[in-house]
Structure formats: C-alpha cells, structure tokens
Amino acid sequence: MTAPPALGNARPASPDLLRSVFRRHAAGVAVITARGASGPVGFTATSLASVSADPPMLSFGIGTAGSSWPVIATADHVGVHVLAEDQQDLAVTFARPGADRFGPGTAWWDGPEGVPLLHGVLAWTVCEVVARVPAGDHRIVIAEVLLGDPGDPARPGRPLLYHHGRYHGLRD
C-alpha cells in the first residue's frame, strides 16, 4: 500500500473553494430562455447536463437571486441553446446583470410554446420543465426535450467553452 498524497493546498469547503475548483473544469456554454408575463428572459449557463436519453431530459442550474429566476420558477417551457465559439458576445450579454438581453443586438424569434429562440446557435431545444430541485442558493431545473434543432451535420461548428473565468474555443 502506498502512502496517501500530501494534502498540499487542501482547505475546508467554502464558496471560494468550489469556485476555485470549478475554474479548472472546462464547461460548454448555453443560454436558457423562457417567456414571462412581461416579456422574454434568459441567462448564460455552464451547468447544462444530459440527464436521460429515454425520455430525453436535461438539467441546468439557476441562482435564485438572478433576474431570470422568477420567470424560470413558474415557466412550463424553456429554450436551451448551445453556443458556438464565435458567440462570446452573446454569452456575455446573457450573463451581464441589467443587460438588454433581447434588444436590437440579439436575433431571436418566438418559437413553439412561446419560447424565445436565438438565431445562429449551434443547436437548440424547446423543453417542458418537469422538476425544480432546491440546491443551496440555486435550483436544478430538470426538463424534458420536446423538439429541437441539432444543427447541420455537414457544418458541425465548434462549441464555446468556459474555463478559468474566460470564454474559449476548442483547439486542435
């Protein structure tokens, strides 16, 4: 049996520790949208995950202090958009507090179920929300995919990634 590795920089759990660890984890970038009574809402998410193939389900996290949470908390349907590596500006717009996310700089249309859908993304889905699971200062939203556009297989595109506090594209 070998000796355990030294604990090095180990420290007790805290929000700062979690953020520091996840800065090292590269994540895909998505924008989640929904329709509220006063108009569309949306936010940038790096917590998108596949949950089930049959039925097709996905999940994402959302902070309950965020401006989009009141709509997502009651929305029956959401749009999930996978961003391309050249869509950093779109990711920043949907991440910035107080930004005019659906203003003139954002190309979008009302999709099925009234869900706001973004033009030019790598792929998108319209989903029905099936659960909102409390998780600290966030909620994990679980949604069943109803329909979507996986993009053109002849032009697969490259995803936008988030790593160490910055947006990146894939490198060959």
**Domains, the chain:** 26-163 (2.30.110.10)
- Is residue 159 within 8 Å of residue 28, measured between CB atoms? yes
- Give this prediction's pTM: 0.92
In sequence order, the 6+-apart residues with CB closer than 8 A to the CB of 116 are 33, 34, 35, 40, 42, 79, 102, 108, 109, 110
What pLDDT sits at residue 172? 65
The tokens of 79 are what? Answer: 């749009």
What pLDDT sits at residue 49? 97
For 83-125, write each residue's pLDDT tens digit. Answer: 999 999 999 999 999 999 999 999 999 999 999 999 999 999 9
Whether 6 shows a pLDDT value over 80: the answer reads no
